[in-house]
Amino acid sequence: MPRRVMPVSESRNRECVNPISGIANTGEGPRGGTEERAAGTMVRRLLRATRSALTVKEQGEETRMSMQKQDQTQSWSGLGVGTDRKSFLDKVSAQIPDYDAEQAAEAVFCALTEELPGGLVQHLRDQLPPDVRPMLGACHRHRGEEPAKMDRDDFYLMVANHLNAEPENVRLVLHGVFAALHTQIVEAEAQKIEHQLPKWLQGTWAAARLQIDRPA
């Protein structure tokens, strides 16, 4: 059977579509190949630009989430929002306006450090603003004396005597100072302290961190 020979004009008019660029190649020699290569280069550039834009967007999202996390974790140590002595005492006053903020903080600090190991007390001190640290260092624990062994009644009485307050009001003072203290330390440090406290004091520490169960 004789083989059909395609006319030159028909062969030139038949188009071949590039699967990547979507541009038809008319098969007109070097010109068609050049157009195809240019289209492929353009597509590759667009793909690279898209990947780059996605990477920048992902990095921006990570930065935003990191900043949000920092806003939620307040501490002088640089991991959150810094404060100073005045702003710290203002936080205490806002919690327990009927008491002298400085005396209340010192009373609670002295009693609290009696319940914590020396290394943890130092970590707590390091996270406080520099001008708040002397309030913690004024306790006899930091003058080289051994910590006292106290039960709940002794602990409450120690704070009450420091403030010249009634023992039944001590839990309100503890809650207020603890709440202000939580704004100065990171969550991990707060949890370490909680684990070292006696069971009868852990509840007040945790409630102050969560801003719940405030005594009337």
What is residue 47's predicted lDDT score, i.e. its pLDDT?
Answer: 64
User: 91-96 — which CB contacts under 8 Å span 24+ positions?
Assistant: 91/179, 91/180, 91/183, 92/176, 92/177, 92/180, 94/180, 95/175, 95/176, 95/177, 95/179, 95/180, 96/172, 96/173, 96/176, 96/177
Q: 187 in a domain, yes or no?
A: yes
Out of 1-5, 116-120, 137-141, pick the least confident: 1-5
**Average pLDDT score over the chain:** 74
Average pLDDT over residues 108-127: 89
What is residue 105's predicted lDDT score, i.e. its pLDDT?
Answer: 95
The Cα 186–Cα 193 span in angstroms is: 11
Provide, rounded to the nearest whole percent, the portion of the chain with pLDDT above 70. Answer: 57
Please name which of 21, 17, 23 lies closest in space to residue 43, comparing C-alpha atoms.
21
For 38-85, write each residue's pLDDT tens digit. Answer: 666 776 777 676 665 545 455 555 545 444 444 444 444 444 345 788
Quickly count helices (H) and strands (E) in the chain: 10, 2
Residue 103 has pLDDT above 90, yes or no: yes
Strand partners, 16: 25
Average pLDDT over residues 93-122: 92
CB 27 within 8 A of CB 12: yes
CB 74 within 8 A of CB 81: yes
What is residue 51's predicted lDDT score, i.e. its pLDDT?
Answer: 63
Domain boundary among 51, 72, 93: 72
19 & 93 share domain:
no
How far is residue 38 from each of residues 41, 47, 72, measured CA to CA in Å? 5, 14, 52
Give the structural domain span for 125: 85-210
Type of residue found at 85:
R
Residue 195 has pLDDT above 60, yes or no: yes
Residue 205 has pLDDT above 90, yes or no: yes
13 & 59 share domain:
yes
How many domains does the chain contain in total? 2
Average pLDDT over residues 80-107: 87
CB atoms within 10 A of CB 107: 25
Provide, rounded to the nearest whole percent, the portion of the chain with pLDDT above 90. Answer: 35
43 & 65 share domain:
yes
Structure tokens at 105: 């903080």
For 165-181, write each residue's pLDDT tens digit. Answer: 999 999 999 999 999 99
What is residue 12's predicted lDDT score, i.e. its pLDDT?
Answer: 46
Eight-class DSSP state of 17: E
Domain boundary among 45, 72, 99: 72
Q: Which residue has the higher pLDDT, 16 or 116?
A: 116
What is residue 75's predicted lDDT score, i.e. its pLDDT?
Answer: 47
